[in-house]
Amino acid sequence: MAFLWRRRSTTIVKLVALMLAIWFCIAFLIYTDDTRRRAAQDNNSGYASFMDTGTGGGAAAGDPIAMALKNAPSSAEELAAALHAITPEREEADVPPTIKHRSRKLIPRLKVEESVRHNVVVHPEERREKVAAPLVKKQPPPPPPQQPAKDDGKNVLDMPVEGLEKNPGEMGKPVVLPKEMSPEMKKAVDDGWTNNAFNQYVSDLISVHRTLPDPRDAWCKDSARYLPNLPKTDVIICFHNEAWSVLLRTVHSVLDRSPKELIGKIILVDDYSDMPHLKKQLEDYFAAYSKVQIVRGAQRDGLIRARLLGAKHAQSEVITYLDSHCECTEGWLEPLLDRIARNSTTVVCPVIDVLDDTTLEYHYRDSSGVNVGGFDWNLQFSWHAVPEREKKRHNLTL
């Protein structure tokens, strides 16, 4: 009987130990669950406090953010709906004006890339395929370079193209040399005076096409005073060892200031010159001028015989004689031919102005101070004022 007691006491001990273990597990689970809840509550309260203090110092009653966090949407749809509800107010209340306005003016990325394309910047997708050349503003073509004056080796100045008033001697103005000259310059000036009895050095500085003032008055410029069909004339110019620039300036003044239809030929009569520039050089220069003819005398005959030699080669109705060191002005020829056309027996003489032998200045007078050439009883030629009786006889009111 004693042995049977020993078996029952062991079973009771086992049952008590099992119940204690179950109770301990239940207590542990309950304790763990309470700890987990308190931790969750502490986290939620800390997050809410952080949001309240981080958005502006405490949430006011009815704040949509506090309400949304308190309600804690459980799904993505509810969260999106809550954000959509609060976006307008937060955008107006908390976004600074500069940021708000700047955000409204942002250009979409696609449009920016398109506008950049118009400024010749290559699109990123096309950068590997091609490289755009930079735009180059089209420039007007440069003006053609000014051709230098042709040096024909004849020691004569070409006709100036522009800035005529700045060239020496233009409009008949004087050319004054400096008082202090180099030895070479002084020798050239002296040689010119010795060979020509005028300042050849100054003449060589002046263009052979230089301009001159028009000394005519309104009465002389009236073309209606002249006959419409004037006869042609051959101009005969005799020379002997004349200076190059002076002779060329004489010929060019006739060609430049005479109507082409009134000039038959310009006959240059060489009265046996021996200077080199009046030989082949002169012939080469006037080879391009069809109206210029050169006649050479076999011996030195003098001025009158040289003029008669030129008359033998003349073919026009009228013969005009000029010296080899003169310059014709505008309108010099028409009045002379008009008088001859009205009376073929008339021998006419133009008004002869003066070229200064030192400066080559052109001196002229108006019609009120015109002088006429005449001879005295000793047959000496001189210039005389027009007598009053002649002015009245010709009805000269100027």
Cα separation, 267 vs 344, in Å, equals 22
| Whether 306 contacts 297, CB under 8 Å | yes
Give the count of domains, the chain.
Answer: 2
Cα separation, 59 vs 377, in Å, equals 138
Q: What is the mean pLDDT of residues 254-269?
A: 98
Same domain, 282 and 342: yes
Same domain, 222 and 339: yes
Confidence of residue 387 (pLDDT cuts 50, 70, 90): confident
Cα separation, 318 vs 395, in Å, equals 28
Same domain, 222 and 338: yes
Cα separation, 69 vs 12, in Å, equals 56
Cα separation, 337 vs 367, in Å, equals 19
Residue 93 lies in a domain: no
State the CATH number of the domain containing residue 227: 3.90.550.10
H/E segment holding residue 40: helix 2-54
Residue 168, domain extent? 164-205
Same domain, 172 and 269: no
User: 150-183, pLDDT tens digit by residue?
Assistant: 434 445 444 444 555 689 999 999 999 999 999 9
Residue 99 lies in a domain: no
Q: Which residue has the higher pLDDT, 215 or 64?
A: 215
Residue 323 lies in a domain: yes
Same domain, 260 and 323: yes
- Token duo for residue 259: 């109507």
Q: Which residue has the higher pLDDT, 132 or 349?
A: 349
For residue 117, what pLDDT is reported? 38
Q: What is the mean pLDDT of residues 224-250?
A: 97
Indicate the burial class of 338 (C-beta count within 10 angstroms; 0-12, 13-18, 19 or more). Answer: middle
Tell me if the pTM is above 0.85: no
For residue 365, what pLDDT is reported? 82
